Structure 1
Amino acid sequence: MNVNRYVYIMLSDTGTLFTNVIKKYTKAPYNHSSLSFDSELKEMYSFGRKNPKNPFNGGFVKEDIFTGTYSRYKDTTCVIYKLKVTEREIEKMKRVLDVFIKNDDKFLYNILGVIGISLKEPVEFSNSYFCSQFVAEVLSRSGIKLWGKLPALVTPDDFRKNEYFHLIYEGKLFDFEPIKRHLSK
């Protein structure tokens, strides 16, 4: 029996100085991408701030909405999509993700890659990613090819414009029903 499975992509805008600078250039509403395996976003991964108070220490992160960076930015806006995948693709993604989890201290934030996007030139280093590059890389290594370009050229807006992603929510992150329910406990 083939049961529908999904992964979830959240694009967000915290309103920080860094995101506002990127937003001015990209003209896109969201500039951060995260990958989750559950619709309540309890298990979410990306490349971003390792410490919510320090924007200069970036790398691979397991994001926690209630204690991580988002907890400092209550007015964060977001859009959440689901992508239909197979059980086998989820297994592959989790294996790829496991490498990141086990070696999280070895990964750096690819700030030069962000600049490379503006030049339409991929800038890749081993063990160095920016958020949308990471999400696209996990999908790609799992056999899910959604764009005709390298993960190092995928932007958060590419997720928003891709027909394979189905919108499930757009608005304030802390107004998303599963998060509101968690907060009211």
Structure 2
Amino acid sequence: MTSKTFIYILLTDTGTLFTKSIKKYTKAPYNHASIAFDAHLTEMYSFGRKNPNNPINGGFVKEDIHTGTYSKYPETTCVIYKLEVTSRDVEKMRRVLNVFIKNQRRFLYNLIGVLGVSLNEPVEFSNSYFCSQFVAEMLHRSGIKLWDKLPALVTPDDFRKNPHFQLVYEGKLTDYPLIKK
């Protein structure tokens, strides 16, 4: 019998120009999604800025609240959800994640895919993802099916609206009590 554990989904709004542009279209409060394997958000991954100072260079990233992009935007607001999964599910996710880690230089940010979502047309390129597509793909490849659509059409707001996720926290990211200061 496999034991139950949790993974965490962090949705954020950094207030950057890119986020503001997406927000005008989506009308959603959060437009970036990340997946974390612990409640302290110390092991967290997504697709976004590889360098906090360069919004153009994007791809697979291990996010760090203290030194990464979030450190440049201390007013970032967020919502954190947890999803109950089995330890076997986590093993599968870690196998998928290891492929991303080992090949991280090959992965690009799927900006055209973001536009495809707005047209409800999935745009998928090999080794190219946007944030919520990556998180949905991680879940999907691990056998966790939460939507009746391709990962390339999943938005951060789809996580917010999915009843399988339990709310953990909403507010300023730097005020989240489990972040190690």
Output the TM-score relative to the length of structure 2: 0.99
Within the alignment, does 1:53 sit opposite 2:53 as a pair?
Answer: yes
Q: How much has 1:8 moved relative to structure 2?
A: 0.2
Q: Secondary structure at the match of 1:177?
A: coil
CA RMSD of aligned residues (A): 0.7
| 1:44-83 matched pairs, under 5 angstroms | 44-83=44-83
Q: How many residues align?
A: 181
Q: Secondary structure at the match of 1:6?
A: strand
Counterpart for residue 140 of structure 2: 140
Taking the aligned partners of 1:83 and 1:124, their CA distance within structure 2 comes to: 26
Cα distance in structure 1, aligned partners of 2:61 and 2:122: 22
1:166 partnered with 2:150: no
Q: Are the aligned partners of 2:2 and 2:88 in contact in 1 as well (CA < 8 Å)?
A: no
Rounded Cα–Cα distance in structure 2 between residues aligned with 1:110 and 1:58: 9
In the TM superposition, 1:115-130 aligns within 5 A as 115-130=115-130
The 5 Å alignment of 1:36-47 reads 36-47=36-47
Tell me the distance in 2 between the aligned counterparts of 1:91 and 1:46: 18
The residue number in structure 1 matching 2:4 is 4
The Cα of 1:3 is off from its aligned counterpart by 3.0
1:2 to partner: Cα distance: 4.7
Query: Contact 2:7–2:35 at 8 Å: present in 1 too?
Result: yes
After superposition, the C-alpha distances for 1:21-79 in whole angstroms (9 at most, x for unaligned) are 00000000000000000000000000000000000000000000000000000000000
Structure 2, gaps ≥5 residues long: none
Per-residue Cα deviation, 1:128-183 (whole angstroms, up to 9, x for no partner): 0000000000000000000000000000000000000000000000000022xx22
The CA distance in 2 between the partners of 1:2 and 1:89, in whole Å, is: 9
2:111 and 2:37 map into 1 onto residues whose CA distance is 26
**Whole-Å separation in 1 of the counterparts to 2:132 and 2:116:** 13
CA distance in 2, matches of 1:178, 1:162: 24
In 2: Cα distance, 1:105 partner to 1:64 partner = 18
Aligned to 2:153: 153
Which consecutive unaligned segments of at least 5 residues does structure 1 have? Answer: none
**What CA distance in whole angstroms lies between the structure 2 residues aligned with 1:10 and 1:94?**
18
Q: Which amino acid aligns with 2:162?
A: N
**Distance (Å, rounded) in 2 between the aligned partners of 1:120 and 1:23:** 17
Q: What is the percentage of aligned positions where both structures have the same residue?
A: 73
Measured in 2, the distance between the counterparts of 1:92 and 1:149 equals 21
- Distance in structure 1 (CA, Å) of the matches to 2:8 and 2:17: 26
Question: TM-score, with normalisation over the residues of structure 1?
Answer: 0.97
